[in-house]
Chain A
Amino acid sequence: QKEVEQDPGPLSVPEGAIVSLNCTYSNSAFQYFMWYRQYSRKGPELLMYTYSSGNKEDGRFTAQVDKSSKYISLFIRDSQPSDSATYLCAMTRTGFQKLVFGTGTRLLVSP
């Protein structure tokens, strides 16, 4: 079993839709959670960074962490075609620097 599970998609939505992306994990020691966006043949771009449980909002993006369920989510409101990319979740433990990534979910937003 992988430490971090993520549905590879693709997830296809129309422009303006609310998108929900999710990851589950097995290691209860993970405390820091991140979402990265990666365009084709580019490097990952950090979107959201959260510590422990709770919500964090930044513009159209909201990250949620539910440690009791070992489940994290990224919501994108008013999705745009420019949001079409692969979204990677990543996490790590306190005192550790090594990030453990999900395999990524490919999102396609059609105009």
Chain B
Amino acid sequence: NAGVMQNPRHLVRRRGQEARLRCSPMKGHSHVYWYRQLPEEGLKFMVYLQKENIIDESGMPKERFSAEFPKEGPSILRIQQVVRGDSAAYFCASSPGSRERNEQFFGPGTRLTVL
């Protein structure tokens, strides 16, 4: 039973380039979440998606960041025109989506470095 998969594990971009981070949820999970972890800080919620829908994007920066979870394929977190401050670990989590239980299981993360 494969866990949450993320790729790439490490991504290096120069300022101004685009970064695309991918997340495949656990089998049977239909809900995906993205979190960002800066050095010495806890994880910060960014966005919550179900298939083809953004449910809560209250943690997403207003510009340059977007996320999608298409009907087929992985969830994508896209960062346009990256800046040095975007350097962080980006974690994806998934859950089965029950209202009663919302345990979220995390992937290994993508470490983005902006030069």
Residues of A within 8 A of B (CB): 4, 6, 8, 32, 34, 36, 41-46, 49, 88, 90, 92, 95-104
Which residues of chain B are near A103, meaning CB under 8 Å? 40-42
CB distance B45 to A46 under 8 Å?
A: no
CB distance B59 to A98 under 8 Å?
A: yes
Instruction: State the CA gap A64–B106 with chains docked (Å).
Output: 23
Q: Is B52 among interface residues, defined by CB-CB distance under 8 A?
A: no
Shortest Cβ distance from B59 into chain A, in angstroms?
A: 7
CB distance B103 to A44 under 8 Å?
A: no
Q: Is B18 among interface residues, defined by CB-CB distance under 8 A?
A: no
**Interface core residue of A32, A42, A98, A101 (most chain B CB under 10 Å):** A98
Shortest Cβ distance from A9 into chain B, in angstroms?
A: 12
Q: Is B102 among interface residues, defined by CB-CB distance under 8 A?
A: yes
A to B contact number (C-beta, < 8 Å): 61
- Say whether, besides A88-B43, A103-B40, A104-B42, A97 and B55 are in contact (CB < 8 Å): yes
CB distance B91 to A43 under 8 Å?
A: yes
Which residues of chain B are near A36, meaning CB under 8 Å? 106
Instruction: State the CA gap A49–B6 with chains docked (Å).
Output: 24
Instruction: State the CA gap A45–B93 with chains docked (Å).
Output: 10
Which residues of chain B are near A41, meaning CB under 8 Å? 111
- Say whether, besides A44-B43, A98-B58, A100-B45, A32 and B102 are in contact (CB < 8 Å): yes
Interface string of B62-81 (1 = CB under 8 A from A): 00000000000000000000
Instruction: State the CA gap A43–B111 with chains docked (Å).
Output: 11
Which residues of chain B are near A99, meaning CB under 8 Å? 33, 35, 43, 45, 104
Shortest Cβ distance from B33 into chain A, in angstroms?
A: 7
Instruction: State the CA gap A23–B18 with chains docked (Å).
Output: 37
Shortest Cβ distance from B58 into chain A, in angstroms?
A: 7
Question: Which residues 78-115 in B have Cβ within 8 Å of A in the complex?
Answer: 91, 95, 99, 101-109, 111
Shortest Cβ distance from A79 into chain B, in angstroms?
A: 22
Shortest Cβ distance from A104 into chain B, in angstroms?
A: 6
CB distance B42 to A43 under 8 Å?
A: no
